[in-house]
Amino acid sequence: MEAAWFFLMGFLRIYLALCVISTHTSAIFFGFEHGGDQAVQIFFSVSGFYMALVLTESYSSTTKFFISRAIRIYVPYLVILLFICLVSGLSGLTSGRWFALEAYAHSPLTHNGMAGVALAAVSNVSIFFQDWLMFLKHDFGQHLQFTTNYAESKSALWHYMIIPPSWSVALELCFYAMAPFLNRLRTVHLVLIIAASTGLRTCLFNECHLNFDPWTYRFFPCEISTFLIGMLGYRIYTHFKGKGLPCDISICWFYGVLLCAFLIYAWIIRKADSLGVISYLTFFPLMLIIPVLFSYSQKSTFDRFIGELSFPVYLLHWHIIPLGMAVIGAARWNPGCLGPLVALGSIGGAILVLKLLILPLEEWRRSFKQQALQPAFPRK
């Protein structure tokens, strides 16, 4: 059976984005979906797999890898950021509702110090440091300082983030900066880094009692292990690369079994979450899950198209939530409709971004990659 018939990785990526929407709104998959924090961590592993793939098979130059990644991330992000700022600014000037610019519009220096506001403003453009805002506070009259709980701040710095979910993109960029080096390491060294990262996570959770947001899934030294799980998954993938399913396997049976297995896996992760840091162990099967899904769907252009929607959906959904709430209020619909409504709006906006911006960029990146093919980053 042709692998092109299988739509797996792309649907996994869009599913994870929808899980985040569900966490911020209402259930989309009738409560069976992963939590937003779990979805983000799974996406980190997916990212680790793809970075190992492209570094090994597509790029021989670190510089070209960085340029390609920067274009892939920053162009859509900055266009969406500019659009949100323009809409929020026009709304503020005409109606007094500033939306994404609300924190900046009402005398921010009467609530926070200059350094904190400046750091937040810079991070909105650079993407870098957005995760730092979860570990810093700068209330009015105080110094910029570290905090273990941003919720204790009178005016949390994350309120100055124009696209709040993009803190996870900041972690992605930190991983991208290290990925060429990490991809050269022996497998045993990656395992040691995972062990150290997992040990740190356990220590912070049990000994320091930092078992709450943002420590549970926003602290990069702990989250690097989730990226590396994906990198190890790629190395597993190389061992069965090119092998397909037997031709007599029904695609209906395949998807049926896969769906049941995935729902069981989601249930295990949700149940394990109550066990604390031990729940992190449930992410290790991704070393096998991701390679299998990629192996059977890598030739599907439709699956790739679906997967490409995940990034703009993730960036757009936060600002579609108020629109969804307004529609539900005006139509007097059940509040439970908010999740599906925001999901549809986000996907619609993402399709526009994909068609008008990302796909043309991908064409350029594809030609750019042709100039940087083998030999890639070899592992020792």
Choose the weakest-confidence range: 179-183, 186-190, 281-285, 338-342: 281-285
Q: Is residue 312 part of a domain?
A: yes
299-308: average pLDDT: 90
Q: Is residue 109 part of a domain?
A: no
> How far apart are the C-alpha atoms of 208 and 202, rounded to whole Å?
9
Q: Is residue 221 part of a domain?
A: yes
Tokens of 350: 């993402």
Q: Is residue 179 part of a domain?
A: yes
Is the predicted pLDDT of residue 365 greater than 60, yes or no? yes
> How far apart are the C-alpha atoms of 105 and 119, rounded to whole Å?
17
Q: Is residue 130 part of a domain?
A: no
pLDDT band at 368 (very low <50, low <70, confident <90, very high): low
What contacts 65, CB < 8 A, 6 or more positions away? 54, 55, 59, 179, 180, 372
Other CB atoms within 10 A of residue 68 CB: 21
Confidence (pLDDT) at 3: 46
Q: Is residue 336 part of a domain?
A: yes
**Are 70 and 365 within 8 A, CB to CB?**
no
**Are 198 and 280 within 8 A, CB to CB?**
yes
Helix 220-237 vs helix 286-297: angle between axes, to the nearest 10 degrees?
A: 50
CA 57 to chain centre: 23
Range of the domain at 77: 3-98+165-370
pLDDT above 70 covers a percentage of the chain that reads 88
> How far apart are the C-alpha atoms of 193 and 183, rounded to whole Å?
12
pLDDT digits (tens, 9 = 90+) for 352-361: 999 999 888 8
**Are 204 and 245 within 8 A, CB to CB?**
no
317-341: average pLDDT: 95
Helix (H) or strand (E) holding 136: strand 136-137
**Are 95 and 131 within 8 A, CB to CB?**
no
Domains identified in the chain, total number: 1
Q: Is residue 116 part of a domain?
A: no
Number of residues assigned to the chain: 380
Output the DSSP codes for 56-117. Answer: HHT-S-HHHHHHHHHHHHHHHHHHHHHHHHHHHHHHHHHHS--GGGHHHHS-GGGTB-HHHH
269: left (phi over 0), alpha (psi -120 to 50) or beta: alpha
Q: Is residue 297 part of a domain?
A: yes
> How far apart are the C-alpha atoms of 325 and 337, rounded to whole Å?
9
* Of 373 and 108, the one with more pLDDT: 108
> How far apart are the C-alpha atoms of 50 and 69, rounded to whole Å?
12
Query: Could you give the residue ranges of the DSSP H alpha helices within the chain?
Result: 9-24, 36-57, 62-95, 102-105, 114-126, 167-184, 187-206, 220-237, 251-272, 286-297, 301-308, 310-331, 338-353, 359-370
pLDDT band at 293 (very low <50, low <70, confident <90, very high): confident
Longest dimension (CA), the chain: 71
Taking alpha carbons only, the member of 192, 217, 191, 189 closest to residue 204 is 217
Helix (H, G, I), strand (E, B) or coil at 201: helix
**Are 318 and 165 within 8 A, CB to CB?**
yes
124-149: average pLDDT: 97
Tokens of 5: 């018939």
> How far apart are the C-alpha atoms of 28 and 337, rounded to whole Å?
9
